[in-house]
Amino acid sequence: MIMNGRLIYDCTFEELKDILVGMGEKPFRAGQIFKWVYEGVSSFDEMTNISKPLRQKLAEVFTFDGVRFIKSSGSMKGNSEKLLLALSDMHTVESVLMRHEYGVSLCVSSQVGCKMHCAFCASGADGYVRNLTAGEIIAQVMYANKMLAENGEGKVSMLVFMGSGEPFDNFENVIKSIKIMHSPEGLNIGYRNFTISTSGLVEGIYSLAREELPINLSISLHAPDDELRKELMPIAKRHTIKELIEASSFYFNATGRRVTMEYLLIKDVTDTVEKAKQLASLLKHTGFHVNLIPYNEVEGLPYVRSSPSRINTFMDILKERTVNATCRDSLGKDINAACGQLKRGYVGN
Ligand code: SAH
């Protein structure tokens, strides 16, 4: 069983300092303790420059048990690995570790399940359970770092919020987790190395812009017109594509960070020549980058992945019309990397 106690990763540096001062300790201890925590120790006993009585006191207040490993599935190419992790209440979330030439990135979950109910997505299909705390988001990274260290590999240096959940539906905790991971006393990851992906919560985009942090933004557009988008994504009933594009431009102007439009390629639904032309005229002159994602099929859902020739044609149409597009090498296909798929396999077993 996972021990009770406050998850140590839920504490900002300042909060830890206050707690220590409240215990009658000197504030500089916070720096020593934070350093140990983010170097990846899993107990206070490993903190050799901290007195034993203080270590014991801290162990009564805090826990390191954010996530427990359940199972993983690796890709054939060996460069990505999907992890199924259990939280303290035994709900499970997924994280995907991706090894690139330029470093290791981790795709993290921000909620157990999701409220957005996109028609094509496994996470939404299973319903919403709860938000993750900031510490539970960080715990996914700390677990990945531990795994990497065991293999003699480097640490996670880039984070994408593309696991299960809608990050802007858990705004406070997501931002808190990013600030802790960014802090020099924490993991010291630059804001430019974080990407938040949203299904299109317009108010969340403006809120993030107000934070004035150079975080990358990805928008799950997936359709070039409101009619099709409403069929695929219920959020499209709340905000039009026009509102979404306005908010994205505002974000770009406020932060200078590139905004990426994610576009799923689903056979005969989103991947036709007509849709490609519509998408090109929608995004021409906006400066947004388009990332085409070949759909990962989900058991029980009717959607089918586009063929490679359809994908190429779609890409060519965008390029001819000077829309900047790339196609995500679907690292995930052979590891069930689409949202919620590994979890489904597990829950269903
Ligand atoms: N809720 C956020 C982030 C999580 S989903 C969002 O919607 O952006 C991360 C991305 O994976 C989104 O673009 C989502 O639409 C996409 N996705 C969901 N199911 C998928 C599937 N079966 N195949 C490929 N991409 C999928």
What DSSP string runs through 313-348? HHHHHHHHTT--EEE---TTGGGT-STTHHHHHHHT
- Ligand 1 centroid from CA 189, angstroms: 24
- The pLDDT value recorded for residue 17 is 97
**What one-character-per-residue DSSP string does 87-115 give?**
-TTS-EEEEEEEEETTEEEEE--SEEE-S
Average pLDDT, the chain: 92
- Ligand 1 centroid from CA 266, angstroms: 13
Contact 85, 64 (CB under 8 A): no
Which residue is closest in CA terms to ligand 1's atom 19? 121
What is the rounded CA–CA span in Å between residue 25 and residue 20? 5
pLDDT per residue over 100-130, tens digit each?
A: 999 999 999 999 999 999 999 988 777 899 9
219 CA: nearest ligand 1 atom: 8
Q: Is 262 in the pocket of ligand 1 (CB under 6 A)?
A: yes
Which residue is closest in CA terms to ligand 1's atom 12? 220
Active site residue 339: yes
What is the rounded CA–CA span in Å between residue 148 and residue 268? 40
Beta strand 62-63 pairing with 6-7: parallel
- The pLDDT value recorded for residue 331 is 47
Alpha helices in 75-224 (DSSP H): 122-125, 134-150, 171-182, 202-211
State which residues of the chain have pLDDT below 70: 1-4, 75-77, 329-349
- The pLDDT value recorded for residue 329 is 61
Which residue is closest in CA terms to ligand 1's atom 10? 162
- Ligand 1 centroid from CA 100, angstroms: 20
- The pLDDT value recorded for residue 57 is 96
- Ligand 1 centroid from CA 295, angstroms: 9
Question: Could you tell which of 108, 115, 194, 197 is best to mutate to test the pocket of ligand 1, judged by most ligand atoms within 8 Å of the CB?
Answer: 197
Contact 309, 273 (CB under 8 A): no
Q: Is 18 left (phi over 0), alpha (psi -120 to 50) or beta?
A: alpha
What is the rounded CA–CA span in Å between residue 4 and residue 7? 9
- The pLDDT value recorded for residue 78 is 73
Among 114, 118, 121, 339, the one annotated catalytic? 339
Q: Is 339 in the pocket of ligand 1 (CB under 6 A)?
A: yes
Among 25, 81, 94, 136, the one annotated catalytic? 94
- Ligand 1 centroid from CA 121, angstroms: 7
Burial class of residue 52 in the structure, from the number of CB atoms within 10 Å of its CB (0-12 exposed, 13-18 middle, 19+ buried):
exposed
Which residue is closest in CA terms to ligand 1's atom 18? 121
Q: Is 108 in the pocket of ligand 1 (CB under 6 A)?
A: no
Active site residue 114: no
